[in-house]
Structure 1
Amino acid sequence: MNPNSSENCIGAIDGSHFRVKVAKEDTRRYRGRKEFPTQNVLAACTFDLKFTYVLAGWEGSASDSRVLNNALIRQDKIFVPQGKYYLVDGGFMLRPGFLTPFRSTRYHLKEYSTRQPENPREVYNHHHSSLRNAIERAFGVLKKRFPILGNKGCEIDVLMGSLKSKTKDFGIFFSLWLRFSI
């Protein structure tokens, strides 16, 4: 990939964790890197921050790579046109249609704030990170537009599929929340 040419790049993919309420016996499966149960939601977006694919339902302990593997074999699978690709972070495997950054090389934008890229791999990673940041921003805009999604008092009831807070039952299916256009 030429990092300066993104005509074949159709967007970015990442997972984001949302707090969930699960049966006591399922708590361990849904507890990943957070101290509370979460659901790992995989999403793809365009560079104008429009979600083009959302896969909700995976327990918080599932890696982004594992969720993507499932997204590729489902009936409602994510589609990558021939010759096109999505940008993904280092948590994913390099495979056709999904472009990762170089490993063991500076990557995150904040790492370049005090020191500019010094070699071709760092230049590539800097461009990759700048473009892939779209998915981070899309999730951020979603959580800002619907603050209840990021609220510690909000839990997604996995059994019922509805979004709940401690004071209200919104009765709106979680997947519909993620399909709203930003």
Structure 2
Amino acid sequence: MEIIAPGDKFFHDIPEKIINDTRYMSYFKDCIGVIDGTHVDARIPVEEQAAYIGRYHSLTQNVIAACDFNMCFTFVSPGWEGSAHAVRIFKHAVMDPKYNFPAPPPVDAGYPLQRGYLRPYLGTRYHIPDFRRGHINAE
């Protein structure tokens, strides 16, 4: 098994890209990176395919990854069924100590409602197909 881990495993240092840019420093000084997921095409034996059918009805693996501000991976969890929800994969990675998930220092936000993680703004479009659907009405 290959181990992917952050260089500063206790996150003491503020990334240079943040500390040297006054536009971002006040907002991201305590941010250690980003987590996102993607679906990757999969080749699965016929008897196991049902669980790997993703939301577009193709066989996929759901993969979550975290990276730092230098665009270096600090965590990758591949191989999940295409039907697995991102929150399920995230919680599994965070809760099981064998994965050595790079946990941030304690802060006052939650993702998903969990100490130390900021979640996306509710109602904000993040996936490419969402942007193709047209204009968002401002309220």
Q: After TM superposition, is the score higher than 0.5?
A: yes
Asked if 1 retains the 8 angstrom alpha-carbon contact of 2:49 and 2:59, the reply is yes
Q: 1:102 to 1:9 in 2, by over 3 A?
A: same
- Percent of counterpart pairs with the same letter? 32
Distance 2:100 2:65 in 1: 12
Task: Look up the match of 2:100.
Answer: 77
Task: Look up the match of 1:24.
Answer: 46
1:100 to 119, 123, 127: 119
SS of match in other structure, 1:36 = coil
SS of match in other structure, 1:52 = strand
Matched, 1:5 2:27: yes
Q: Which moved more, 1:2-11 or 1:48-57?
A: 2-11
More relative contact order, 1 or 2 (CA 8 Å, 6+ apart): 1
RMSD after superposition: 3.4
Residue deviations 1:109-166, cap 9 Å, x none? x69xx99xx89xxxxxxxxxxxxxxxxxxxxxxxxxxxxxxxxxxxxxxxxxxxxxxx
Asked if 1 retains the 8 angstrom alpha-carbon contact of 2:66 and 2:74, the reply is yes
Matched, 1:33 2:52: no
Where do 4+ consecutive residues of structure 1 move more than 4 Å?
84-87
Q: Could you state the TM-score of these two structures normalised by the residue count of structure 2? A: 0.64
Q: Could you state the TM-score of these two structures normalised by the residue count of structure 1? A: 0.50
Matched, 1:61 2:83: yes
Q: 1:77 to 1:85 in 2, by over 3 A?
A: farther
Q: 1:94 to 1:67 in 2, by over 3 A?
A: same
Q: Give the Å deviation of 1:101.
A: 2.6
Distance 1:85 1:71 in 2: 21
Asked if 1 retains the 8 angstrom alpha-carbon contact of 2:52 and 2:61, the reply is yes
Unaligned segments of structure 2, at least 5 residues: 1-23
The letter of the residue matching 1:64 is A
Q: Give the Å deviation of 1:81.
A: 2.9
Asked if 2 retains the 8 angstrom alpha-carbon contact of 1:13 and 1:44, the reply is yes
Q: 1:16 to 1:86 in 2, by over 3 A?
A: farther
